[in-house]
Structure 1
Amino acid sequence: MLFQYIHHLAERFDHKKTLDQLQTFASTPEGAVGITAAVALVAGASYLKNKNNDRGCPKVPGSSVWGTSTEEYRADPKAFIVKWQNELGPVYHAELFGHTATVVSGSYVREIFLNDKFDFMAGLHRTFDNMLLTNCGPYEDLSAAHTSEVVKKFLSPHLKHFTPRVIEHLQQGLKAQTGEISAEGKQFPHVYGLVQHPVALASASVFVGPELSKNELLIDSFKNMVIDVGSELLPNPWLEPFPRLNRLRMWWVGKTSSTVKRHRGQLATALKPELDRRLKAMASNDSNWERPDDILQNLLEHYTPPKGMDTLNYMVNWMTQLTFAAIHTTSEGSTWVLYRLLQTPGLWEELYQEQNEVLEASGIDSSAGAEVFTREILNKFVKMDSVIRETMRARTAYITLPHINKSNEVVTLSNGAKIYPGESAYINVWSNHNDPSLQNSMKDLQQFKPLRFLDAEKNSTKIGEDFLFFGMGKHACPGRWFAVQEIKTIVALLLREYKLEAVGDLFFPEVESIPFPMGEFKIYPRKQVA
């Protein structure tokens, strides 16, 4: 009876209406005991249900007292993958991350990515729902499909147009971070701190325009909101088996966190005067008004706030989601690339020489500065592009990219593996990125080789079974061209102006819980300092 009640509560629970009631109930001794017992019953029932289902593929035997494999995986994800793929093949299932997960690799990943019965965003939102975390309202008001549509319509097709603006603001951001650098050089503790501000500034110049990108409050939120909010959702293994409770936790963070309120307030304060000015000019058909050229203006013209929401809050929601989708991931990618360059002696100067050769072939003096860079010139830096692709291939991505079977049908893969409704298929990214049969028989795939893709005709935005960093199929990351161009540009600007070298040893993580490499480095001016 208790199990039936809790099951009914979980299915019907409306966190917007009954959160206070649940908190009151949980604070009583009876409530604490009841919820604890219910949690155990739900976990046991779920486990027994999964145990009895025919999966059509082998299972990883659980290594914990609960019959799960999460601890074994997290202790050494690479060893876990190698061991069980060798024993069980490219598709198997395991009790991972609090639920039954079918782990898919090889050519079978295509059957997940290209099947509309699977939903990646639903899988991601089980553990990290940025709409809930940032109090952005119902998912249907601003879904991932909306964000993808905006990127496809108003950003990716216009990268050539935005390139000069991005270069200008990346230069401004780098100068602000480096300051004056003498011939003796200047030491920095971490690459992320160097690139975070320039990426936020350049992205803001495209998202809200060059004028608004001067607003310090807005730039602070563009830079820090993802990390600040994410830090409030520290991993909690006890909640993993209970996705609805985890979503309730995310909703609670979004509704009560002072960090979320601060960043939303900063964005609103920065946006309001500009929105008022634009809306007034649009309403009056002011002939003297020069239409701003940015994503914000396109949003105002093509998207109407949902009922009950004003334009200011709607635009705050939009900027929040674009920030989560673009800025932190680009800063993170740039950090990885620059640490790989620091790891590889001689590569920095080889890429600088490539710049000179490309400029000379384009009829430009090789002594020119980065102001001559265009999208066409950036695309000719093929050695740098290989470094970017190899960096992303060799990153610490293991079993990830969860896809939930959102249909009411069992999905059966071509090898007979079955994914039941509501269950997840995970992509074994590490396996595909290190599979010689998928990587054109390339050798030493567990080593970082920066020029591996130089003559392979596979640039850093070309997705496929062999390169899953940006996903695959029609739901692949639509902003990958913008992200890669920003990474290329910030690395190219640093190459043009400075020389970088590591100070001491560099650390490259092999577990997912550590997002970046680490290590101090020094920057020297490339040209003689007067």
Structure 2
Amino acid sequence: MFTQYIYHLINNFDQKKTIDQLQSIVSTKEGSIGLVTAAILMSGVALYKSSRIDRGCPQIPYNSILGSTTEYRKDPEAFIKKWNKELGPVYGGYLFGQYATFVSGPQVREVFLNNDFDFLEGIRRDFDTLLLTNGGGRNDLTTEMVAGGIKKNLSPKLGQYTSRVIQHLQQGLFEQCGVVPDEGKEFYHVYPLVQHMVAKASASVFVGPELAKNENLIDSFKNMVLEVGSELRPKPILEFFPNVMRLRMWYIGKTSRNVKRHRDQLYAALMPEVDYRLNAMKEGDSNWERPDDFLQDILESDGCPPHVDIYTHLVNWMTQLIFAALHTTSENGTIVLYRLLDNPDAMEELYKEQIQVLEESGYDANVGPEVFTREILNKFSKLDSFIRESCRLRNDYYGLPHKNVSNKNITLSGGAIIRPGEFAYVNAFSNHRDENLQKVIEDVSTFKPFRFVNQDRNSTKIGEDFIFFGMGKHACPGRWFAIQEIKTVVSLLIRSYKLSALEPVVFPTIERNQIPNGRFKLVPRK
């Protein structure tokens, strides 16, 4: 079998020999044709077998040996609306090189809360950060360890980190904009501005204010995900063959110059500081003041595997945090700001809300954003509604794959059967636009910024109607930090500037492009 050959390459050869063999295969016309031919044959066999199994739910007809992926990629919204209407809330189909069940409506809860489904195994099929970043063995730094660290050392401390975050967001803003003249300043895109601000603020929390001054470290916090992830952009044919994709991720992790550069930068930035801290802790230095950051919490956790040196362990930690938090927060902050640019009247409503909350808290109406606290940010209910609505109407379609990791069939309440090793995908597009689930929402496909005000449905509250952060034991543990950071970015910008779009904002509808586009302008508030 082709897959057995791939695993044989990984497991039975040393790194250099494996890479040499792989290069020799893919660098020749015959080798490339052989890989593609074998993969297509495997796909055809899997498709044939899948069509002969009772699935307990309606099926999307297979139009080709590669299933329905091409039709879905062309227009995912039309694809979902078509098959939801014809087949109902739960159905099966052959997409992304595999048979999968696509679940919407209340039954998504059964996917999220069933322990025989594993989201982490599902996501690793196409994006395994440990393989992609040469991050060591799976047991060296488990996802449970990362999630536990965030729950223990990040979320409970958001209040005490707020002033630090604001300070570094302001620094990042100034580094990107400089002094904005009275007539304003134009920008090509929102993302670079938000990306730099988020990198500065996140670094101040993860590694401390001093290390947040290190330009190379900030470069990795900003660009590691984009530069390494760009190497994984699916080759059209490889998407259908997950074992080849996993080999490709492993190959990138072992050979990529981007991976090496960013790991080296993190290592060089962390090593002197870690040595200093470890020595101060060991010697009981009375002049040493314990740093209050995530790095120090990790150092004191005593979780470094015995076969991994402390520097590599910490680089692996920071890499996982960067991939889990930095790009997603920057991306979602960008989406919120583009919604704001597209709704200028809402921007002034949010500014008025700031004034009202600040005055009720005893501050002058003209005070700067440095007075924001977690408590004040949480009182911005219109802003919170704006963020939730922006996330609800993102162009998310089929996602959050969950793999059946048990040795038995899983049967959903509607009758759909997910066999061992198969995947259930959550249909976020449908749930976020389901009139029955959304209840108080009218015009479910229309962006209405303040529809959640006074509805007890804040932007971190998860449920069947809002699955943006998942649900159950694998719901995003960092969502409180991410939302607070986005709230602070938006609040700081509208406190100091008037933002205006210089051209119509373009919101993407294809699945692989989440970020809107459009030039904009900042003008200082008088």
The bucket for the TM-score relative to the shorter chain is over 0.9
Residue number in structure 2 paired with 1:115: 114
SS at the partner of 1:101? strand
SS at the partner of 1:477? coil
Q: TM-score, normalised by structure 1?
A: 0.95
Residue number in structure 2 paired with 1:198: 197
The alpha carbon displacement at 1:363 in A equals 1.4
d(CA) in 2 for partners of 1:28, 1:333: 42
The residue identity in structure 1 corresponding to 2:458 is: N
Alignment CA distance shift 1:36-1:70 (3 Å)? closer
d(CA) in 1 for partners of 2:413, 2:388: 30
Matches within 5 A, 1:42-441: 42-63=42-63, 65-66=64-65, 68-441=67-440
Further displaced range: 230-239 or 383-392: 230-239
Residue number in structure 2 paired with 1:517: 516
Alignment CA distance shift 1:67-1:43 (3 Å)? closer
d(CA) in 1 for partners of 2:66, 2:323: 35
What is the percent sequence identity of the aligned residues?
A: 57
The alpha carbon displacement at 1:45 in A equals 2.2
| Cα pair 1:61 1:67 within 8 Å, conserved | no
The residue identity in structure 1 corresponding to 2:371 is: V
SS at the partner of 2:295? helix
The residue identity in structure 2 corresponding to 1:211 is: E
d(CA) in 2 for partners of 1:457, 1:409: 39
SS at the partner of 2:101? strand
| Cα pair 2:66 2:95 within 8 Å, conserved | no
The alpha carbon displacement at 1:415 in A equals 1.0
The alpha carbon displacement at 1:14 in A equals 3.0
The residue identity in structure 2 corresponding to 1:137 is: G
Q: TM-score, normalised by structure 2?
A: 0.96
Alignment CA distance shift 1:28-1:175 (3 Å)? closer
Residue number in structure 2 paired with 1:457: 456
| Cα pair 2:388 2:458 within 8 Å, conserved | yes
d(CA) in 2 for partners of 1:160, 1:16: 51
The residue identity in structure 1 corresponding to 2:41 is: L
Alignment CA distance shift 1:55-1:191 (3 Å)? same
Alignment CA distance shift 1:174-1:104 (3 Å)? same
The CA deviation string for residues 103-161 of structure 1, in whole angstroms up to 9 with x for no partner, is 00000000000001111111111111111111111122112111101100000011011
The residue identity in structure 2 corresponding to 1:263 is: H
The CA deviation string for residues 279-305 of structure 1, in whole angstroms up to 9 with x for no partner, is 111121222211111000111110432
The alpha carbon displacement at 1:25 in A equals 6.8
d(CA) in 2 for partners of 1:207, 1:341: 29
d(CA) in 1 for partners of 2:269, 2:115: 39
d(CA) in 2 for partners of 1:33, 1:442: 52
| Cα pair 1:15 1:248 within 8 Å, conserved | no
The alpha carbon displacement at 1:34 in A equals 5.6
Alignment CA distance shift 1:145-1:16 (3 Å)? farther
The residue identity in structure 2 corresponding to 1:312 is: Y
The alpha carbon displacement at 1:215 in A equals 0.5
| Cα pair 2:404 2:418 within 8 Å, conserved | yes
SS at the partner of 1:235? coil
Matches within 5 A, 1:455-494: 455-494=454-493
d(CA) in 2 for partners of 1:443, 1:117: 36
Alignment CA distance shift 1:80-1:268 (3 Å)? same
Further displaced range: 481-490 or 304-313: 304-313
d(CA) in 2 for partners of 1:23, 1:479: 38
d(CA) in 2 for partners of 1:201, 1:76: 37
d(CA) in 1 for partners of 2:440, 2:466: 14
Aligned pair partner of 2:10 in 10, 14, 17: 14
The residue identity in structure 2 corresponding to 1:219 is: I
The residue identity in structure 1 corresponding to 2:42 is: V
The residue identity in structure 1 corresponding to 2:386 is: V
Alignment CA distance shift 1:377-1:451 (3 Å)? same
d(CA) in 2 for partners of 1:344, 1:164: 29
d(CA) in 1 for partners of 2:142, 2:487: 29
d(CA) in 2 for partners of 1:109, 1:176: 44
The alpha carbon displacement at 1:464 in A equals 0.2
The alpha carbon displacement at 1:237 in A equals 2.6
| Cα pair 2:47 2:65 within 8 Å, conserved | no
Residue number in structure 2 paired with 1:500: 499
| Cα pair 1:268 1:313 within 8 Å, conserved | yes
The alpha carbon displacement at 1:31 in A equals 6.0
SS at the partner of 1:523? strand
d(CA) in 1 for partners of 2:67, 2:253: 31
The CA deviation string for residues 451-472 of structure 1, in whole angstroms up to 9 with x for no partner, is 1111211000000000011001
SS at the partner of 2:99? strand
Alignment CA distance shift 1:160-1:21 (3 Å)? same
Alignment CA distance shift 1:25-1:201 (3 Å)? closer
The alpha carbon displacement at 1:406 in A equals 0.9
Residue number in structure 1 paired with 2:38: 38
d(CA) in 1 for partners of 2:273, 2:149: 20
The alpha carbon displacement at 1:50 in A equals 1.2
| Cα pair 2:50 2:99 within 8 Å, conserved | yes
d(CA) in 1 for partners of 2:156, 2:474: 17
Aligned residues: 522
d(CA) in 2 for partners of 1:129, 1:494: 35
Tell me, which stretches of 5 or more residues in structure 2 are unaligned?
none
SS at the partner of 2:505? strand
d(CA) in 2 for partners of 1:374, 1:288: 30
The CA deviation string for residues 215-259 of structure 1, in whole angstroms up to 9 with x for no partner, is 001001001111011111111231223212111100110110111
d(CA) in 1 for partners of 2:444, 2:514: 21
d(CA) in 1 for partners of 2:143, 2:272: 28
